A and B are shown apart, each in its own frame.
Chain A
């Protein structure tokens, strides 16, 4: 079968009417988090869009990012986008294995050299020559360097690829690093999150498909349209924060009333992502709506940023209150003693190192 040359022809093959195409454009514009006023421009661009090749490499990861994408909540629209991409190599999803799989990657590279999108999930271990993770006898480091050479752009999918993630967490035994530490001569888009929101992954791919370039990025290399506002600023519980109404424990009256979870460790104020609007599970909910604070999974080094149940104000809040909250949150810091100098505490806050209740008690005493 001859592959359709443009997206418009692809949709026509699926017997999608022009009215359906307009719906597709409206939802794709929304998916890319662009203003609805961009819809005519998106329609014009999508009519001419050509089928891009995507090579997806999975390194030190848990496959949660792929799970997120393949269980995306708007299959009608996203499938049309994803079916239109030519996903030429993805060793978890493809039928081929072993030498045949690697030959598919080499073939896709040679046929689309300089034009394919390289998607990477997982961090790359570089300690001891990168021996801690290999595919077909090739280290992740070597495979990345080889494959990135012919890529037009790189999309680092998930917090491991974007910032190192769990493998990079202290003590980082494999010397894991994110993509952006190894790739300096190609545009890199970081789609962070553990896992990232499926509509953000497909939105970035749709943006490249539509406009032929990567979207505008923030200082961490993340697409501004999705990561431009904090969870806190877009949280439906924000009015409670403004009114000073907080849940103090997970089962008190405030929790039952759906009040702000800031005091229970919610990292929404320092976390930038689209969870509060894009949501999860077919648009059903997101962690805060389910009653649990944001853990900040789309921010760099979130695994080492202290306890999930420590309020962001822990460094300056009263120890008694903090200790009480830690206990009720099931995150008691234990009895280990240790003195943390004031300067070290400030440094730890800057570097997101763990600050225990004991550290704070010692410092404040």
Chain B
């Protein structure tokens, strides 16, 4: 076998095309039944050009959010609406998880009920403290 065969600049793809097809099916399901699909990219073997091919094909979308909880997380909508790239990092910036979510909005972006309840308690306490302070000054 000669080196020429590998130097023809054809991308070496392993799982990019199957993943893109899974995303296509996921979008069909999302539109038809509202069902979300999550693909764990770290548990799939990638060829050297797979991730770039995925990023090139999906492109960049309009939303890019950063979450700061147990290390940073990046949540980015791709150029295909309803397809999100969710990446979780450790405190020192190492990638811990890499997911594609086909959904209207990833669950982790939503405010969660226990956190809302905690926030409300905190706000009530602060307001109570403020009222006490105001009363004392009158």
Contact = CB atoms under 8 A, between A and B. Distances in A.
A338 interface: no
B10 to A, nearest CB: 10
Contacts of B112: 17-19, 22
Contact of A74 (B12, B14, B40, B96): B96
Interface stretch (B54-62, B66-74, B76-84, B126-134): B66-74
A18 B96 contact: no
Of B3, B7, B44, chain A has the most CB atoms within 10 Å of the CB of: B3
Nearest to B67: A19
B1 interface: yes
A17 B115 contact: yes
Contacts of A37: 38
Contacts of B96: 27, 74, 76-77
Contacts of B14: 236, 238-239
B90 A19 contact: no
Interface residues of B, number: 40
B121 to A, nearest CB: 13
B108 A39 contact: no
A259 B6 contact: yes
Interface in B89-138: 90-91, 94-97, 99, 107-108, 111-115, 118
B63 interface: no
A75 interface: yes
A76 B6 contact: no
Interface in A303-361: none
B1 A236 contact: no
Contacts of A189: none
A239 B49 CA distance: 11
B70 A77 contact: yes
Interface string A1-43: 0000000000000001111101110110110010111010000
A316 to B, nearest CB: 20
B6 A75 contact: no
Interface residues of A, number: 42
B40 A22 contact: no
Contact of B42 (A77, A233, A277, A282): A277
A65 interface: no
Nearest to A252: B3
A149 interface: no
A233 B43 CA distance: 13
A283 interface: yes
Contacts of A254: 1, 3
A239 B45 contact: no
Of A19, A20, A233, A283, chain B has the most CB atoms within 10 Å of the CB of: A19
Interface of B: 1-3, 5-7, 12-14, 38-40, 42-48, 67, 69-71, 73, 88, 90-91, 94-97, 99, 107-108, 111-115, 118
Closest 10 interchain pairs by CB?
A: A18-B112, A36-B38, A20-B69, A234-B45, A253-B3, A18-B114, A76-B90, A257-B6, A20-B70, A74-B96
Given A19-B115, A20-B69, A253-B2, 8 more contacts: A19-B69, A22-B108, A76-B90, A236-B48, A239-B13, A239-B47, A253-B3, A277-B44
